[in-house]
Each structure stands twice: as structure tokens, then as C-alpha cells.
Structure 1
Amino acid sequence: MTAGGPQRCSAWLRAPLAVFGVAVCLASSAIPARAQQNTRVEPPRQPPVSSQGRLPVTGCSGQVISDIVVITQPPFTDKLPRDLEWVRRTVRAMHVNTRDEVVRQFLLLKVGEPCNQIKRAESERILRAQPYLVDARIRAYDDEEGGVRLEVETRDDFSLLFEPILRGSSPQFRGLRLGDNNLAGFATQAAVEWRDGLAYNDVLGVKYTDYQFFGGRDELRMEARRDPFGQRLNLEVVKPYYTDLQRFAWVASVGGTREPLRLLRGDVEQNAVNVRRAYGNVGALTRVGSVGRLKLLGLSLTREDERTDSAALLLTRDGVRPDTLGAPPAPYIRQNVMRANLLMGIRAIRFVRVQGFDALTGAQDIRVGVQAGISAGHSLRIGPAVDNDRFVSTNIYIGWGGEKWFAGAQGITEARYSKDRDRWENVIGSGRAAWYFRPAVRQTTVIQTEWATGRRMQAPFQLSLADREGGLMGHRLSQEPGARRLVVRAEQRLVVPTRLNVADVGLAGFAEAGRLWSERSVPYSLDTPWRGAVGISLLAAVPPRSRRLWRLDLAFPVSNDPNKRVELRLTGLDRSRTFWRDTRDVERSRERTAPTSLFTWP
């Protein structure tokens, strides 16, 4: 920590938002330290020179590494047509390439060490897993002295975040998200957000992620956000389990939320219950076994306090008012628990580099094999923690295939056993199964299904087909709630050839169908018939081979839902780094202390 760091920390820790104070303290201490590193007097360094023209050796086979050259490329490496060259110049003027030292921190190989093929491949894959890079290649060249010279070449994604929020109704401009995914090339994400709250508080948020916290492969994640009806604070420091070659992984997090959970109830106006959560978690894993087929063992200590208000509210356009329109939801049970948890995992995985699966043409590494993680905990009655329970969470993944086709499935389940009531409660499960088929370079077929369920819920929980992530296109206004959801999707993509070098462009046709089932513990839930939608999409990846897929979807609903509408939706997401993530309506009901940061392996 630099001089003056303790004084800054003490000032921030006296702030009303203690969690955010700790976060700002850590960030403000890390940035000057990094700045000092960059201002050290160093001998002049020659610019990296490509080894183009030399033939690469067949691979690393124990030769001594005499030099490592890093070449970082901007988003647009190829020249554009004369009329569009201004795009390339503008992007390069606004973009800072990833720093040489950032790339070197992710390498598992060092100068003077024997060149190892497994470490070379894993270093390449770890670089490709970073959200600010499009691709990475590590080639070995004969140095003509009995050793090898490694050339690490990376290409950046366009890092600027500029996401206006526009609506068809007045006011059309509702908000803005502005930031950078690779601030100054230092592997940090910083973003601010504002959104018009209309009759309620405006949304104000800040998000900061450092992918090389204090110069290592650890990550610092901070978020502070004021929502229209509450707030969210989160601070997490994690050492992700990037590769089988590392020995340890650990996580520490603390945070809290206050937000209303809206509950659909058919033709009656939706109401909401206010939910407050405070949580903390510290845990670590260690590797046992050989690379490629190993076990993980660890421990964690978790704290969770969740309470739900008994009074239901109506969140209207004009403000909040009491709910007097219908029967309120059943009362929810407060959870106030501290647990000691045993963490276990098995992993028999290899990685295959493919193109055009979740991205339009970009590269990604898919996991072939099996991996599973489990967390089993028992409550500790310490201080205010009074609950007496057990908790189990599992995360199982299976995948097989290669460059032409791939099939995979992943499921996450958690449940809490109350010893006071002698029964299992809050059983939440969700998952995804998908099949990719790429018979030609420009064609991809994707068939997938996603499911989610909640049973014996003692915490607020509800699913719908209106959810933006887990629901159906054309059903954003659906008012039907459920306890279980099944959605099946099919898509045929075609990449359209272009010589402009500005973006990759494609077309797609899709069809999807889904339905809901009821469960007694989920308020207002009901059984629905199958609903569906068909549509066409315009696809784009900017710059070319970017893994962020921009979609303009036009969907036509096929159902008898009275609230169905033709929908035009624009999205820009990168789904290539993880096989699947929980949808928002499922995630908000899960316990915050489950070790997803450790078991969601890249």
C-alpha cells in the first residue's frame, strides 16, 4: 500500500456505506501502487519484433525459453475500405492496447524455464478466457541456439461501453451505461450507470472489476447501485480456478441488498414484497491429483441473513401504495444462519478450441469431459445466527464433441434442511442442455433446452415466460407466474460473406417454445399451455471475430396468451466464456454464499 493509503482507508471506513468504503479503499490503494510500478526508471525497451518469416517449431518439448515477445493488437488489425477507414482511425484513437505486463502475468511459462506444451496451451486458453481479448496465440520459434523464442500474440476486443436505454414511449431516452472493459489497457473494467426512475428513485450505479488485483491473477469485483426501490452493495476478492496447473483457489465476499420482488398474479395487478439480505463468505480450495484428472477439497465459512416484509405493496406508475386488491402471498420465514461448509470437486476435463458456436465466427474453448462441485454445510449457532439447518449445493457439467459438433449439459441444485421443522426447504434447481452442429464454416445449428424449478419455498420465488433471459420472445408482457419452467429453442445461423473488414455479419431463423407448472409454495403459480414464438435475426460481431454477438431479433408469438406482442429486441452479449449462467429470476432467490466463483470454472 502506498504512502497515505492507511489515511485514505480510515476516512472511507468511517463512511456510512462501510462495504463500499472498503471497496473504494482497496481500489484507491491498488491504483497508485500500479502507477508507481509504471513510473520506475527502466532501460529503454526495443519494440517487439515479430518472428514472421521463421518457421515455428513443432511444439514445446523441453527446450529452454530464451525470450518471450508479446505483441498486442488493436481491435481492427486489417485495413478497411477507403470510405470506412475513418472507423479504424477513430477506434484506435479511443482504444488503448492491453499492456505487455498484463499479458505476461497470465503466462505459465517464464524465460529460462523448459518449454512445456501443456503450459503453453493452458496459457493460451487463459488469455482467451479474458473478456477484453478476442483471441490469443502462443507460437514457439527456434532461436538458433538450441532453445526457443516464444511469441505471444493477442488481439483486443473493442472495450468502450456505451449503452443508451431507449423506449418507444415518452420519455424515449431512459438511461445510459458508460465505461470501459479494459481501462487504459490495465485489465480493469469500470462502468457507471444512470436510468430514469420515473415516479421512483433514479438508478445510479458503479461497477469496478480488476482482473489482475495487485498485479496477480486474482480478481477484485466491486458494485454499488441504488435501484428505484432499494440498493445493492457487493465486494468480492477471488482467485479463480483458471487451470489444473494451479494449486489453490480462494474467495472472500461481503455485501447486502434491499429490493422488492415483484409477484405476477394473472389478471390482477402485480404486487411485491420487500426482501433484505446481508451476506458474507470466505473459503478456499486445494488441488489433489494429477493434471487433467483431479480432485478439489476445501472449506468455507458463510453468513446469511434474509428477511421478507409481511406486507405486500403495489408498485404503480405514481408511486408505492398498499395492496388491497387480492389475497397477499403466504408469510415467509426469516433465515439467519452461519455455516461451516465442506467444498469438494472432481474434474476430468480437456479443452477444444472451436469457432462459431456461441460467437458468430470468434474462437472459444469448450470443455470436454465431466466436472462436478458440491458444497455441504452445517449451521453454527454463534452470536445472532440462530438457525439450525444443513445446506447442500451441487454443480454438475458434462460435455463431449469437437470442432464440428458438441453436446453439453449443466445443472445447479441447492436445498436447505431445517432441523427445527424436520424437512427440506428452498429446493432450487436450474440448468441447460445444448447441441451445436457446424457442418460448414458459415453454418451453425443450435438446439437447446433450459429448465428451472423451485419447491417447498420459504423465500420469495416466482418464474415466468416474461423473463428477458429465461422466457420467450414476444411474451414480455405475460402475467402468468409459475414454479417450474421449461423452454426449448432451435436456431439456424448463416454467416454472410463480406469484404468490408468492419464486422462479421450473419442471419438466423429461430423457433422457441415453453410452458410453466404450478407448485403450492410459490404464490399465484399456475399451469400454462405451451407458448411459442418464431422469428428472424440480424447478427453482427464488431470487430470481426469478436465473441460479443449483437442480435436484432424480430419475434412473432405463437400462442393464445392475451398479452403476446410482436417484439423487436436488440442485445449484445458474450456467451462464449461459460457454458451457462443462471437467469436473473432464479439467481435472486438462491443463497448468496454458494461458492459459484470457485465452481464456475472457465
Structure 2
Amino acid sequence: MALAHRSPRLERSGNPIRTPDAPATKSGRIAGPLWRVFLTLLLGTLGGAAPLVAQGARDTPPGTCPNGRVTDLFFDTHSIFDVERLQEGGSFLWALQLANKLHIRTRSSFLRRELLFRQGDCLDLFLLEESARILRGYGFLARADVYAVPQSDGNHHVVVDTQDDWTTKVDLGVSLDGGIQFEGFDVTEENFLGRGMELAFQYQRRRERRDIGFSYKTTRLFQTRWDAAFTVGGTRRGDFYDAEVSYPFFAETGRHAALFSFQRRDDLFPYSLERGETYTNLVVPFTFERIAAMAATRWGRPGRLALLGAGVSRETASLPDLYSASELIAGGAFGSGVVADSARIERVLPQAFDGWRTRVDLLLGWRGVRYETRRGLDALRGIQDVQLGTDVALTLGFTPGTWGSGGADADQDVYGLLTLFGGLSRPELVLQAATRTEGRRVRTGPHAGDWRDVFAELDAYAYWLPPAIPNHTLVGRVSLAGGWNVGIPFQLTLGGRDAIRGYDTDAFPGGRRMIVTVEDRAYYRWPAPEVFDFGTTLFVDVGRVWPGDVPFGMDSGMQAAIGGGIRFGLPAGTARAVRLDLAFPVSGAGTFRDVVFRVSMREFAGIRNGLADDQMTRSRWGSLGSSELVR
């Protein structure tokens, strides 16, 4: 990317504002070395170690800048709608102008602190690109670009050009799965006072969930690079607390990372029952609590990074009052269940873990990734940063001695977690695949020598942008997931918004699942492309679930659904997409009358929001992996 190619952009950046320069426990003999590694990494993090240098920077003699220096920084922050590009006297121009006036723009001081370089530094194009990617990662920015403008003296001005998204969101949860249902509402300010802080109030009443809570998030705790997130509230059964303070690997240049987290939740786990029964669900109470700390370091160059870390965690789980508090639900009426019979409850006893476990972990990894900006993938025409290359991470853990576990189901184990990622692109093609496999080998107790709580999943996506069909993207997805010998509440289903979309969430419970999706996404420069993006979609979902060894599991046989809908993004050019879909089953007893209508605020079948499966995630009570340290 030649610098001269970007210089005309300064003429179109409005009236940039020039800003002044910114100043520049007993561990035992086995666990002892891991504790020393952990403390060393933590002290390095707190010490604010220097970032990794970009490729080629080590070959630069001290005091020289082959590409010149960054002599000035300009911040061009646009509001939500670019009304200057709209025709005067448009029908809704006054409404867009009012929205801009009510909106508080992102502050240049916040943007400045997110940059990986400072005024006076040597110009490094890699750091400019990484800084732009960091900014695009914030949901309250519809677009962000960071580019250099060459000057006659060989130095450069750098322009940070951003456009805000609408940040105050009031979402009314309305579902038409099996009839019109009110599922609560959220009030969220994603960019409070333009400082990048998120404040939210949530009332969620979807299925077994009835959560009322408040949350606060910031990526600049006390004006540092530490992130913080706090959530507190109540559920149908009790309370939930979630607190996390982390110093993540910042982009591809961060050297050290650390995380401290505490989570507690009193809730219900909804088992789906076989189709044709009077009741649709069995909900059982559970309590889960985890406290964890991790620290890691990495070395090498961006695109060739090795990782070493350590962590310690303690998980406590139980299913209290299992016989007296478990309920049978009919027709999705989770607020008015009846006491469950003992025969059904006994079917979930193999997953009724009661105890606590302390684990010490060693983290290893290799990260060889780069990022490429693409349009027309999960966004309609907004820019999306696509991760390419390979990423391998391994976590090895163990319970340290008899004091490392307790409770009715106490045992000692060795734990392993392996994650693999691969991505590649061609001008007309993007491929991504990720796998995650974890399990624990029990060393003591009645299950000694057995592999328990084994989870495995694979997700692969292909995006094809055919030149012969402009503004169309063909998306293919293959998703495999399963659990083996699971001793905690776990079950998969074949239906839902992120599975086969022609069935409701409770359809076809089982322990192993396969889903294949083919989707055509089209974008149209109509009806108001300067204001919002608009497109359509057609899709086919095919899948199957197998019973495995989970309660109420079944073999669904091959099932399929077809559907279509519309997609739109506001403002124009945003990376977000809202979907309105209609889908219906075309296999088994399904008919055109069994249509399912859904409104989704994000792409569930896509790579933008990650490849993790929600039903797998809710049952993962093991150690955290190094992916928790990356932002």
C-alpha cells in the first residue's frame, strides 16, 4: 500500500481537528514452578512492557526512520449520518440531522489512546493498519480508517477518520417462535459520553431465562489499557455476578496479558424432551461459581508469535434441591411449570455434578495470523476484518493433590484443551475453520482412568463472491459438535436461530450434532443507500442429531429447512446486519404452515461474532484458554 495512494483522502475528510501532542496459597513442589511463571508474567504485565515490533523494525538502526516520522495527528470524527452527502430537502433529512444533534461523537482523546503509535514515532504502516483494526472492533464505530499523508520534508501526517454508529439502543424482544412472545428489553449506551464505556440495563425473559441486571464495561480502566466488565442482577432462582479485569494482548503487538475473573450464577438448565410428549422441557436448578486468574507472555514478530502462560482456577457447581425444584414445562410456559416426577429427574442424575475443583494450568500457543479487510461477507457493504493464517493453543492442567477438589463428586484429574484455527483467502473466496477439543482424564475415585467431560466442535465457513453475479455472496457452513461422558448439565438441539432455522429451539435433543448451511446474500443499492444498507437472503439448512449419552437424546434422522428474508444495516456502511427471516421445515412432518419468523440483531451463521457454539459454551465449566486473553 503506497502512501501516495492515500493522500487524496485528506481532501475529503471534512475539517479535521488538529490535536496537541500527547505525552508521550501453598502450591506444593509440583505447582511451584507454574506459580513462579505466573507471577513473573503478571509483574511484566503490570510493568507495562514495550509492544512487539513489526516485521522489519528490528533491522532499523536506532534514531533513523526510513519512512519518515509521524509529525502530526488529525482526528476526523463523523457523526452517524453524513447529511452533507444527502440531497438537500430530502424527505427524512430533518430526522437524520436531529439524530446527529442528539448523538455525542466519539472523543478524539479516546481514539488517540487506542492508537499503537504516537506523534513523533517513526511511521510504520503495520501499526497504522492494526490501529484501524482495533477501532473497527468497537461496535459503536460504523467505520474507521487510519492513513498517512506524505509531506514535502519526507515525514507524514496521519489522519484517523471515523464514523459513529447509533450507540443508544432500546431493543424490544419480540419472538414469533410458536406465537408472539415478549422476551424483555435492553437499554444500552455503547459509547457513554463518547468515551468508549458501555452502560446497560437488561430485562430478559426468554425461555428459562428471567434476568434483570445492570452492566458496565470499559476498555480504559482508570485511563490505562486494562479492560473491565461488571454485571450484577437476578434470575428466576437467585442472583448472578460477573466481574472481569483484564490486560489483553493488544492487537498483534502486545507482549503480555493477564486476566482476573469471578463468576457466579443461580439459574435453570432447560432439557428439551422428546417430541410428542405433553411437556416440552424439564428445567433443573444449578449453581455455578468460578474464580480464575491467568497471565501469559508472547515473543516473536507479528505473524510468528509463540505464547507461554500459566493460570489457576477454582470451579464450584451443584444442582441443589434437584427433586423439589425441578419442573416440567408445557408449551414453552417457563414461568408456570409443575413439579417434575422422579422418573424424569433420575435420567439427569449422571449430569448432576456436586463439588468443587481447583486446577493449575500451563498455556502454550503459536499464532501466525494476519488480517485482511473485506466487504460483502457478514456485513452488507461495510468493512470486515478477516483473520487469516493459523493459530494453535494448548492448555494443560491438573488438580494439585487432595486439597484440589472436594464435595460429593470430588476427584483429581489431568485436563487438556486444544484449539486450532485456520483461514485463507483468494480474491473471490474466504475460508475459515476452527476446532476446539477438551476433556479431563480422571486420576482418582470411581471413574479413575476414564475420560470425562469431553467436548469437541468444528466450524468451517466458506464465502464465495462470484464475479459473474455482482453484489452476491454465497455462504457455506459446516458445523459439528458433541459431548461424551459429560457429568454436568449438557444437551444439544437441532433447531433454533443458529442451527436449523425452520424448527424451534427445543426440536430434536441429542448429544452430537451436524449442521450444513448454504445461503445466498444479495445487496441492493436501493431504496436509500446513503442512509442504510439493504439486502435479501435465501438459505437452506440441513442437519442431524444423534442421541449420544445425554438425557432425552434421540436420533432425528436428516432434517432440512428452507427460508429467506431481508437484511439491513443502519447507518450505511456499518459492519452490523439486522435480519428478518422466514423459514419452514421441508422434511419429516413439517409443512408450510409451520413457518418460523425471527428477528436477529446479528449474523448467527457467520464469522464476525466468532465461531463458538452457544449450547456448547453454556456447559463448559473447565479451565479458560488463551483465547480469553486476546482482544
TM over 0.5: yes
5 Å-filtered alignment, 1:496-575, equals: 496-498=524-526, 500=528, 501-520=530-549, 522-561=550-589, 565-573=594-602
Secondary structure (helix, strand or coil) at the match of 1:76 reads: coil
CA–CA separation in structure 2 for the residues paired with 1:401 and 1:201: 40
- Does the alignment pair 1:583 with 2:583? no
CA–CA separation in structure 2 for the residues paired with 1:62 and 1:283: 38
CA–CA separation in structure 2 for the residues paired with 1:548 and 1:495: 14
Which residue identity lines up with residue 425 of structure 1 in the other structure? R
Aligned residue in 2 for 1:212:
220
Alignment check: 8 A CA contact 1:539 1:552 kept: yes
Say if 1:202 and 1:124 are closer, same or farther in 2 by CA, change over 3 A: closer
Aligned residue in 2 for 1:48:
17
Aligned residue in 2 for 1:412:
436
Cα offset, 1:478, TM superposition:
4.4
Alignment check: 8 A CA contact 1:463 1:585 kept: yes
- Out of 305, 311, 318, the position equivalent to 1:307 is 318
Deviations 1:538-569 (A, max 9, x none): 11011011111111111121122469820111
- Out of 370, 379, 382, the position equivalent to 1:362 is 382
Q: Which moved more, 1:118-127 or 1:248-257?
A: 118-127
- Out of 474, 493, 509, the position equivalent to 1:481 is 509
Which residue identity lines up with residue 420 of structure 2 in the other structure? I
- Does the alignment pair 1:401 with 2:425? yes
CA–CA separation in structure 1 for the residues paired with 2:457 and 2:233: 27
Aligned residue in 2 for 1:595:
625
The unaligned stretches of length 5 or more in structure 1 are: 1-45, 51-59
CA–CA separation in structure 2 for the residues paired with 1:464 and 1:584: 11
Deviations 1:396-416 (A, max 9, x none): 100011442111100112111
Determine which structure has the larger strand proportion and give its number: 1
Aligned residue in 2 for 1:433:
460
Say if 1:172 and 1:305 are closer, same or farther in 2 by CA, change over 3 A: closer
Aligned residue in 2 for 1:183:
192
CA–CA separation in structure 1 for the residues paired with 2:358 and 2:599: 42
Say if 1:47 and 1:115 are closer, same or farther in 2 by CA, change over 3 A: closer
Say if 1:326 and 1:121 are closer, same or farther in 2 by CA, change over 3 A: same
Aligned residue in 2 for 1:464:
493
Secondary structure (helix, strand or coil) at the match of 1:113 reads: coil
Alignment check: 8 A CA contact 1:197 1:228 kept: no
Which residue identity lines up with residue 318 of structure 2 in the other structure? R
Say if 1:171 and 1:130 are closer, same or farther in 2 by CA, change over 3 A: closer
Aligned residue in 1 for 2:286:
275
Alignment check: 8 A CA contact 1:352 1:367 kept: yes
CA–CA separation in structure 1 for the residues paired with 2:166 and 2:150: 33
Structural RMSD (CA)? 2.6
Cα offset, 1:595, TM superposition:
2.8
Secondary structure (helix, strand or coil) at the match of 1:144 reads: coil
Aligned residue in 2 for 1:53:
none
Secondary structure (helix, strand or coil) at the match of 1:223 reads: strand
Deviations 1:129-170 (A, max 9, x none): 222212221221233333211111111121121111235699
5 Å-filtered alignment, 1:310-329, equals: 310-311=322-323, 313-316=326-329, 317=333, 319-324=336-341, 326-328=343-345, 329=347
Aligned residue in 2 for 1:494:
522
CA–CA separation in structure 2 for the residues paired with 1:480 and 1:577: 25
CA–CA separation in structure 1 for the residues paired with 2:142 and 2:600: 19
CA–CA separation in structure 1 for the residues paired with 2:189 and 2:609: 25
- Does the alignment pair 1:373 with 2:393? yes
Secondary structure (helix, strand or coil) at the match of 2:387 reads: strand
Cα offset, 1:340, TM superposition:
1.0
CA–CA separation in structure 2 for the residues paired with 1:320 and 1:173: 18
Secondary structure (helix, strand or coil) at the match of 2:465 reads: strand
- Does the alignment pair 1:80 with 2:86? yes
Q: Which moved more, 1:262-271 or 1:95-104?
A: 262-271
Cα offset, 1:531, TM superposition:
1.0
Q: Which has the higher contact order (CA 8 A, sep 6+)?
A: 2
Secondary structure (helix, strand or coil) at the match of 1:62 reads: coil
Alignment check: 8 A CA contact 1:179 1:191 kept: yes
CA–CA separation in structure 2 for the residues paired with 1:473 and 1:201: 21
5 Å-filtered alignment, 1:78-157, equals: 78=83, 79-81=85-87, 82-157=90-165
Cα offset, 1:202, TM superposition:
5.4
Secondary structure (helix, strand or coil) at the match of 2:134 reads: helix
CA–CA separation in structure 1 for the residues paired with 2:267 and 2:221: 30
Say if 1:372 and 1:250 are closer, same or farther in 2 by CA, change over 3 A: same
- Does the alignment pair 1:297 with 2:308? yes
Cα offset, 1:108, TM superposition:
1.1
Alignment check: 8 A CA contact 2:440 2:452 kept: yes
Alignment check: 8 A CA contact 1:178 1:191 kept: yes
Aligned residue in 2 for 1:287:
298
- Out of 213, 218, 240, the position equivalent to 1:232 is 240
Aligned residue in 2 for 1:34:
none
Aligned residue in 2 for 1:246:
254
Say if 1:83 and 1:578 are closer, same or farther in 2 by CA, change over 3 A: closer
Identity over aligned residues, as a percent?
Answer: 25
Which residue identity lines up with residue 616 of structure 2 in the other structure? V
CA–CA separation in structure 2 for the residues paired with 1:177 and 1:337: 35
Alignment check: 8 A CA contact 1:547 1:574 kept: no
CA–CA separation in structure 1 for the residues paired with 2:427 and 2:137: 18
- Number of residue pairs matched? 544
Cα offset, 1:65, TM superposition:
1.5
CA–CA separation in structure 1 for the residues paired with 2:289 and 2:141: 35
Deviations 1:305-361 (A, max 9, x none): 111244272244463542127433242232411111001110111211111111111
CA–CA separation in structure 2 for the residues paired with 1:185 and 1:467: 36
Alignment check: 8 A CA contact 1:435 1:446 kept: yes
Aligned residue in 2 for 1:9:
none
Say if 1:464 and 1:433 are closer, same or farther in 2 by CA, change over 3 A: same
Report the TM-score, using the length of structure 2 for normalisation: 0.81
Which residue identity lines up with residue 283 of structure 2 in the other structure? A
Aligned residue in 1 for 2:172:
164
Cα offset, 1:291, TM superposition:
2.4
Say if 1:173 and 1:367 are closer, same or farther in 2 by CA, change over 3 A: closer
CA–CA separation in structure 2 for the residues paired with 1:101 and 1:262: 46
Secondary structure (helix, strand or coil) at the match of 1:280 reads: strand
CA–CA separation in structure 2 for the residues paired with 1:141 and 1:419: 62
Say if 1:91 and 1:403 are closer, same or farther in 2 by CA, change over 3 A: farther
Deviations 1:377-430 (A, max 9, x none): 111247573341111112210001144211110011211121112211000112
Say if 1:170 and 1:89 are closer, same or farther in 2 by CA, change over 3 A: same
Which residue identity lines up with residue 366 of structure 1 in the other structure? V
Aligned residue in 2 for 1:5:
none
Alignment check: 8 A CA contact 1:337 1:380 kept: no
Alignment check: 8 A CA contact 2:502 2:562 kept: no
Alignment check: 8 A CA contact 1:431 1:582 kept: no
Cα offset, 1:477, TM superposition:
5.9
Cα offset, 1:581, TM superposition:
3.5
Cα offset, 1:579, TM superposition:
6.1
CA–CA separation in structure 2 for the residues paired with 1:287 and 1:196: 42
Deviations 1:232-253 (A, max 9, x none): 2100112222323211111110
Report the TM-score, using the length of structure 1 for normalisation: 0.85
CA–CA separation in structure 2 for the residues paired with 1:418 and 1:410: 27
Aligned residue in 2 for 1:192:
201
CA–CA separation in structure 1 for the residues paired with 2:563 and 2:94: 35
Say if 1:580 and 1:173 are closer, same or farther in 2 by CA, change over 3 A: closer
